[in-house]
Chain A
Amino acid sequence: MTKKSGTAPHLRLPSFDAFASSLDAMTVEALGDDAYYASWFDDSDDAENDDDYVTNADDADDADDGFPDLGLREGLPSETCSASRNSVYVVYEPGDDIKGRRELINRACGVLGTSERDSEALLHFHAWNLEDAVTSWFENERKAREACGLSDPDAQTSEGGMATTTCNICFDDFEPSELVTAGCSHAFCTGCWAGYIASKIGEGLSVVDTRCPMTKCPIKVGEAMMRRFLNEDDAKKFDVYLGRSFVESNVKIQPCTGIDCERSIVFENLPTNPVAVNCTCGKVFCFSCGGDTHHPIPCKVASEWTKKITLDGANSEWMLVNTKPCPKCQRPILKNGGCMHMQCSQCHTSFCWLCSSPWDAGPYACSKRCNQYKRTESNSNENRKKRARESLERYVFYYERYRAHENSGKKALEDVDKFKSSALGFLIELQRTSETQVGFVMKALKQVSSSRQILKWTYAYAYFELADDVRKKNFFEHVQGEMERALELISRMIELDIKAFLPPDPDTEDDEKVALEKAMAYRYPPEEQDKLEKAFEQYKTLLIDRTAVLRKSCDTLCIELENGLLGMSTPIKGSQQDA
């Protein structure tokens, strides 16, 4: 795998600071500029529309100053994400979270006519969900205030007549004007407030929810008041905590899972289905579960599968032969002594090694008394072994296909980069044409890569979800098979057929540099030029058609999976019968 793969973006980045400063100009626009929005797949069936979702990636590429792709990477699996056709998201650069937070507070102020302080507390309490905040406020303002630590406005007005002149922390006496409250009746001097708030900063993220220092007083200290008592360094930390808390509690925002990446992904409208998102650092991940993208199958199935393959992996065979699942928690158990009484080290369930039924502590024996031979199907050792073998074979079947598509998908992703760096240039030169005229190969490559990514997950889905429903399984395999055929046709075209239009493969003796020079100097024989140009035109038409077909069958498969394969009763069923 080359460094260019999406899984190791950090390797390609210079220091984050240098990177961020180079992006300053972009950062400023980040929240307002439409160009910054990454809109997913268009609804149209027109295969030529792909460029719609290539965003500022290209701008960044053009000004190639040694920095890697800063914008959205092309050719990533998520691009054919039919689930998220209308989902629009934006990438927050570090610091944008604070701006986004402020924006939301201002919006709440506008809607509710509340002060910034009230809006902030209310939104914080409702995990930055404006709708929830507004609803609770209009339903019962008093209750909403109480819940989020705001004082009763009526009580606030009586604050002027504060009786006490003693600070409740240092017990020194002050003029009433020197004492400050958080909006309740508990007055403290400015020195004690500063000490209190500085010590809260040291406590970490919880500083964003600082309350009045008085025991049992629920009143929240507003942001403005916090800032009043913070020194410059602490104010910076406070900003970081505010941003982090905003990102962490807001379901519409997910921090990027890329290593060392401090950006976050923000949706205006929360997508209903799991959505693969693509951070500017190159990381692609599932917005819903934070794991690697697994479109089009649900997060739960994907995580079960990932768990299974990492847990089982190469050991699955050995595990099947040597371990048994705990009857309660299903963790694999290895027998480590001679006694048949097993106890799961994780959930402490006691069971009999021979028949997996609960262990009877009293007589210290298996509760089923499994020494007594009963002639039943399930007791037959032969049957059990057969079932285990079948189950293993079934798993291996799906696993092999999952792995194969994963590897091919990775290779296709590398091919995109490789093609871009060499073959693309040769083609333009040899075919005497322009970059836009050969862009269709890139599109096909990208489609292959994303289709393989999708295919790989469909095998995980089939393993878990389609074991029992034969009708669904047949239907699914039909749709999946259609897509696979379309995919292999294209794969062949872009891996083998295209060679007819490229410089011949380098001699094995040549070193890299010589080979490259030779390839660059290569021209079609003059008598072949016309013929090859014509053939390339045909190749182009065919590949564009096939890419569109693949994309369509890919979409069909995704939509079917998202709808739980209910499409069996829709017109697609007709096509199944036709086939």
Chain B
Amino acid sequence: MSDQAVLLLRKQLKELSRNPIEGFSAGLVDDCNVFEWSVTIMGPPDTIYEGGFFTAHMTFPKDYPNKPPGVRFVSEMWHPNVYADGRVCISILHSPGDDPHGYEDASERWSPVQTVETIVLSIISMLSDPNDESPANIDAAKEWREDYPAFKKRVARCVRKSVDDM
């Protein structure tokens, strides 16, 4: 199974370097390990994240693509759906699992047809459109809801920092 993961990840890496997708760039953290990716996501235009270059690490399990990777921002990030330690919490990174109603919203859960590209595109869409209903970072969610100017300020700091760190 792990062979399948290696082949598939290599294939995706090759494909992404040959035909880059607008909005992010992807590579390996360490060239010998195809399971650890580093992606740099540009803050989507017309959002408060615009101008930022946020780096995130994707860690793929051995049974990828049947199990989702974990994604963690290494750049500082302030967002309702990103834990304080940088872990990204979006539904497509979760398996349907034992949830008996899992299939009612199956569209949102992990499925082996997801690729690095679709995951990153989901993260970009998360940046422009936070999901308030299941916040990972309660403080950020509260600020986003109740004190948007302060939230914006804090994000602007993250954006500046991400550029400085480049």
* Residues of A participating in the B interface, judged by any CB pair closer than 8 Å: 149, 168-171, 186, 191-192, 195-196, 198-199, 203-206, 209, 211, 213-216, 218
Contacts and interface: CB of A to CB of B under 8 A. Distances in A.
Q: Which of B63, B106, B107 has the most CB of A within 10 A?
A: B106
B112 A171 contact: no
A204 B99 CA distance: 10
9 contacts: A169-B65, A170-B8, A192-B4, A196-B112, A199-B112, A211-B103, A211-B106, A215-B111, A215-B113
Contact of B63 (A186, A199, A216): A199
A179 to B, nearest CB: 14
Contacts of B99: 206
A171 B8 contact: yes
Given A195-B1, A198-B66, A206-B96, A218 B103 contact: yes
B95 to A, nearest CB: 6
B21 interface: no
A52 to B, nearest CB: 41
A169 B112 contact: yes
A203 to B, nearest CB: 5
A191 B4 contact: yes
Interface in B106-139: 106-107, 111-114
Given A203-B96, A213-B112, A196 B106 contact: no
B113 A213 contact: yes
B113 A209 contact: no
Contact of A196 (B7, B66, B107): B66
A215 B115 CA distance: 11
Interface of B: 1, 4, 7-8, 11, 63, 65-67, 95-100, 102-103, 106-107, 111-114
B114 A215 contact: yes
A274 B63 CA distance: 48
A80 B107 CA distance: 53
A206 B111 contact: no
B113 A168 contact: yes
A219 to B, nearest CB: 11
Given A204-B98, A206-B96, A216 B4 contact: no
B100 A206 contact: yes
A199 B112 CA distance: 10
Contacts of A211: 103, 106
Contacts of A195: 1, 4, 63, 65-66, 112
A215 B113 CA distance: 7
A195 B97 CA distance: 16
Contact of A213 (B8, B67, B111): B111
A216 B106 contact: yes
Contacts of B11: 170-171
Given A191-B4, A198-B66, A213-B113, 17 more contacts: A169-B8, A169-B113, A186-B113, A195-B1, A196-B66, A199-B66, A199-B112, A203-B95, A203-B96, A204-B97, A206-B98, A206-B99, A206-B103, A214-B113, A215-B107, A215-B111, A215-B113
A335 B6 CA distance: 63
A216 B107 contact: yes
Contacts of A216: 106-107
Nearest to A168: B113
Nearest to A149: B103
A270 B51 CA distance: 65
A128 to B, nearest CB: 15
A517 to B, nearest CB: 61
A234 to B, nearest CB: 13
A59 to B, nearest CB: 40
A192 B65 CA distance: 9
Nearest to B5: A195
